[in-house]
Amino acid sequence: MTNQLPEIEIDVETTYIENQSVPASNRYVFAYKIKISNAGKVPAQLISRHWVITDAAEHVQEVRGEGVVGEQPLLAPGQSFTYTSAAMIETPVGTMHGSYQMVTIDGTEFDAPIAAFRLSVPNVLH
């Protein structure tokens, strides 16, 4: 039997949180809503996450931890899991990328990459 890895699709939407941001103090807060979908044929569980958050001044924060929002969702084929979290950076624009560390039902570990996405205060970029 061949080990088949699930096809994990990740969609991201970001929102600038103006009422939690303090631009005068270099504090910019962004919410990000992530939908993780299993487009493959094998169940997979999200075990941990790794984020790389970079602001416009090239200040990098790395975040690692178990699960997402306190959960380690098991995604059967065709299922998805959506959650919202937040990040804070010191400039009006930045980027995030990373990966989810996942495991199939038979114990095969793999990474699901999260493509870079932009954190940006509205109307800062043209």
CA-CA distance, 36 to 68, in Å (whole number)? 11
The structural domains of the chain, with segments of one domain joined by +, span 8-120
DSSP 99-123: EEEEEETTS-EEEEEEEEEEEE-TT
**pLDDT value, residue 60:** 98
CA-CA distance, 9 to 116, in Å (whole number)? 14
8-120 fold: Immunoglobulin-like (2.60.40)
Q: Give per-residue pLDDT as tens, 26-79.
A: 999 999 999 999 999 999 999 999 999 999 999 999 999 999 999 999 999 999
